[in-house]
Structure formats: C-alpha cells, structure tokens
C-alpha cells in the first residue's frame, strides 16, 4: 500500500476496488495523529500501518469513522488508537456486533434485504474465514460537532446530512484546508440506490460553507472544492 501526501501534515492511501477497501486518511499533529476510517479488516489496517512506518510516522493515536458501512468500520477491532464515531454510527455498529457471521446467517440477511449483494460478496472476498469478522463500536461516541486537538492542528468531526447514509460524518482539517467526506456523495445502496435530492442539496450547502482546497472521498482520487461541488451539482440535475 502506498501512502500519498496531500499537504505537509495530511496523507491518504488509495482505495482498492477488488475487495472494496476505501481511502484511509492520516493527519499528523505535533502531539497526536489521526486516522480517517478504520478500513475493512485487520489486513487493511496492517497494510496502512506498514505504509505509515515506511514514512517514519507514528501509528494513529485516534481513529475517526465517517459512517457505519463495513468497508469503513470493520477494521476498528484491529486499530490500536482511540476510536470515534457519531451516535448514529455507533448505534448501527452495536446492532451489527450482534450479528452472526456464518454463511447461512449472511444468506438470511440477503433474503431479508438487511444486507446487499455487493457488500456480501465483497465481505466474502476480504474474509475467506468468516469467523474472523469482529464488529466493534467506537471508544467515544459524539452527538454534534467534536474537535480533536492533535497539537498545532485540529480535526473537526461533523455529522452531516447525506443521501448515502443517515449517519455520515465529515472530518475537516481547517489548518491544512482538507475535508474528508467518506462516501457522503453517493446513492443509498440499502434503499435500491435511491438518490435523495433534498439531502444532496443540503450536503452541497454544508460543503460550500467549509473553507477547504482539497476534498477526499472514500473511493476516488482527491478533488478540489470546485470539482466536488460540480460533481454534486451534476447529480442534482439528473
């Protein structure tokens, strides 16, 4: 895995379509470091930590989750730092932590539409041994804006309205003018790929109000503020 530099103190790893591994972020402060999303497995976390080590950076002290979907949260049990998730995300993770991860139970969740085919097939690729799946809740749950002081740099955690999922959060690094939005710009895969344009319009307004230069999405290359606003506007006009 390659760790790419966005600014002096912000890095990211690229996504991997084959096993649905999303972009992971890394913010380096004078005292502490923050990882954005925990990845989809212990293996994903290990690859990320190896990439950090190659850059002679310390392992994340904190980990902030953008939303509950498995590819962004299943690595939580393998990280070593303190994890943060907003209340809605944590509630969903607590629900999933009770699920049984066997072939038969996963098939039942597909039949009842509790799970979707794409997630099911991707999980099976990442976890040949299903019993290795361990869903964890975060160490700290927040409701509303939260700030994490990393030392000379602050990470702001903001719950946001998104058409992708009810629990989305963005992570804003004002000093570096970088905004991590996870999969916030996306359809709701758990509702027949429905795109709620009212929620998308709200998201556009929210993002317009952040003073940033670079936007980091969950499954794509980083883009400029103008580009992400254009992408959302084009979706709105469909």
Give the domain ranges of the chain.
Answer: 3-236
- How high is the pLDDT of residue 219? 96
What is the C-alpha separation between 228 and 234, in angstroms, rounded? 10
How many C-beta neighbours within 10 Å does residue 94 have? 15
Helix (H, G, I), strand (E, B) or coil at 48: helix
Residue 19, C-beta contacts closer than 8 angstroms, at least 6 positions apart: 40, 122, 125, 126
- How high is the pLDDT of residue 17? 86
- How high is the pLDDT of residue 238? 80
What is the C-alpha separation between 140 and 122, in angstroms, rounded? 28
238 residues of the chain, pLDDT tens digit each: 989 999 999 999 999 988 899 999 999 999 999 999 999 999 999 999 999 999 999 999 999 999 999 999 999 999 999 999 999 999 999 999 999 999 999 999 999 999 999 999 999 999 999 999 999 999 999 999 999 999 999 999 999 999 999 999 999 999 999 999 999 999 999 999 999 999 999 999 999 999 999 999 999 999 999 999 999 999 998 8
Q: Let me know the angle formed at the C-alpha of 36 by 28 and 207, rounded to the nearest 5 degrees.
A: 105
Q: pTM of the full predicted structure?
A: 0.96
- How high is the pLDDT of residue 216? 98
Q: How far is CA 213 from CA 31, 99, 128, 148, 210, in A?
A: 25, 40, 40, 21, 9
CATH 3.40.50.1820 fits 3-236, yes or no: no
Lookup result for tokens 């629900």: 95
């Amino acid at each position: 895995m390659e760790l790419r530099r966005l600014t002096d103190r912000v890095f990211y790893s690229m996504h991997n379509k084959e096993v649905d591994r999303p972009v992971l972020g890394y913010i380096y402060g004078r005292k502490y470091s923050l990882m954005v999303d925990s990845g989809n497995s212990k293996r994903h976390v290990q690859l990320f930590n190896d990439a950090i080590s190659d850059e002679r950076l310390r392992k994340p002290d904190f980990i902030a989750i953008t939303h509950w979907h498995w590819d962004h949260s299943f690595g939580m049990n393998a990280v070593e730092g303190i994890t943060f998730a907003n209340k809605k995300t944590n509630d969903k993770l607590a629900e999933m932590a009770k699920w049984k991860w066997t072939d038969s139970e996963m098939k039942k969740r597909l039949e009842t539409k509790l799970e979707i085919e794409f997630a099911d097939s991707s999980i099976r690729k990442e976890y040949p041994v299903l019993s290795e799946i361990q869903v964890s809740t975060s160490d700290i749950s927040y409701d509303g804006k939260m700030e994490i002081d990393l030392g000379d740099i602050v990470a702001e955690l903001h719950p946001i309205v998104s058409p992708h999922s009810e629990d989305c959060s963005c992570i804003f690094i004002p000093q570096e003018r970088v905004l991590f939005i996870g999969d916030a710009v996306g359809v709701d895969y758990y509702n027949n790929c429905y795109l709620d344009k009212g929620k998308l319009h709200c998201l556009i307004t929210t993002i317009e109000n952040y003073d940033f230069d670079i936007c980091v999405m969950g499954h794509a290359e980083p883009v400029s503020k103008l580009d992400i606003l254009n992408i959302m506007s084009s979706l709105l006009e469909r």
